[in-house]
Structure 1
Amino acid sequence: MLGMTEEGRYALRFERHLPYPRHKVWRALTDKSELRAWFVSVVDYDRTDFEPAKNANLTFAYATGDTPGHGVVTEYDPPNLLEYTWDNETLRWELTEDGENACTLVFVTTFDDKDMSGPLSEGWSTGLDQLADHLGKHPAQH
């Protein structure tokens, strides 16, 4: 769903019910080895433990060899909320428990160019499908 922020930016909102515990989904959103299985690029954090933290710098490396993207973690509240910038985009991942072994993921991407809404909608819809497929192929980890 396309909307507008108070700052006049465009926002696409996706909501997915996932039949997996929140800790498993959180790990898929934050662990570099899991991100490699479904995310569009490889994400590197500027910390030695390779986990996000507020104000951590991010590098988004592409398999195609394109110039890496950059960002900063702006919100970090495990296992509930992760928000970061990726060049001119802001990505916000919110998880809420939805029963004992399920959760709801609300993902919002915020951007400036309305013409990007179609490609971003298609791309993130595919990415969220890949996340769900990845989660279904791997047993829960604690």
Structure 2
Amino acid sequence: MSTPITVQYTINAPVETIWKALTDKNEMKSWYFDIQDFVLETGKEFNFYEPGGANKYHHQGEILEIISNQKLKHTWSYPDFSDQKTIVTWELLPEDGRTLVKLTHEGIENFKGLGEGFSRENFTEGWNTILGQSLKEYVEK
């Protein structure tokens, strides 16, 4: 049994603001990734590369579950490196006008052996930066 990566931050913004930032591809590119083919619909696949133009890692996801203003669950994979998939779940919990954003990344051990860039530590650091800095700064501005 594996231990998922869990990262959570309380952000000074209402759930609806964070949901829009998380699910609107025009907002996503301001704080997350530029995902041109993102459609908020169960079963839809999306593809993107890390910012900076190097296009080193092709990311692919498929939306598994949507509960508006509460939960977004999707796969996370690197089809150029492996056929293995992991699961990322975003949960939004309202707290007095603020929102607890909880991200869980399950199955990270599926990327074991793909190299340093796919380590648990690397993902943990990445998600902490994405939630604790990028998203937080974007919606609190």
**Match of 1:92?**
89
Q: Percent identity between the aligned chains? A: 22
Which secondary structure state, in structure 2, belongs to the residue aligned with residue 104 of structure 1? strand
Which 4+ residue blocks in structure 1 deviate beyond 6 angstroms? none
Separation in structure 2 between the aligned mates of residue 10 and residue 53 of structure 1, nearest angstrom? 28
Structure 2 residue 37 is the aligned partner of structure 1 residue 33: no
Structure 2 residue runs without a partner (length 5+): 78-84, 113-117
Which secondary structure state, in structure 1, belongs to the residue aligned with residue 16 of structure 2? helix
Separation in structure 2 between the aligned mates of residue 21 and residue 31 of structure 1, nearest angstrom? 16
**Match of 1:121?**
124
- Provide, for residues 27-70 of structure 1, a one-character-per-residue CA deviation record: whole Å limited to 9, x for no partner: 1111111111111x32233xxxx531111111123332235321
- Give 2:73's match in structure 1, choosing from 83, 94, 100: 83
Structure 2 residue 4 is the aligned partner of structure 1 residue 11: yes
Which secondary structure state, in structure 2, belongs to the residue aligned with residue 121 of structure 1? helix
Using structure 2 for the length normalisation, give the TM-score. 0.79
1:122 Cα shift?
Answer: 0.8
User: Aligned-residue CA RMSD in angstroms?
Assistant: 1.8
Number of equivalent positions: 124
Structure 1 residue runs without a partner (length 5+): 1-7, 138-142
Which amino acid in structure 2 is aligned with residue 127 of structure 1? Answer: I
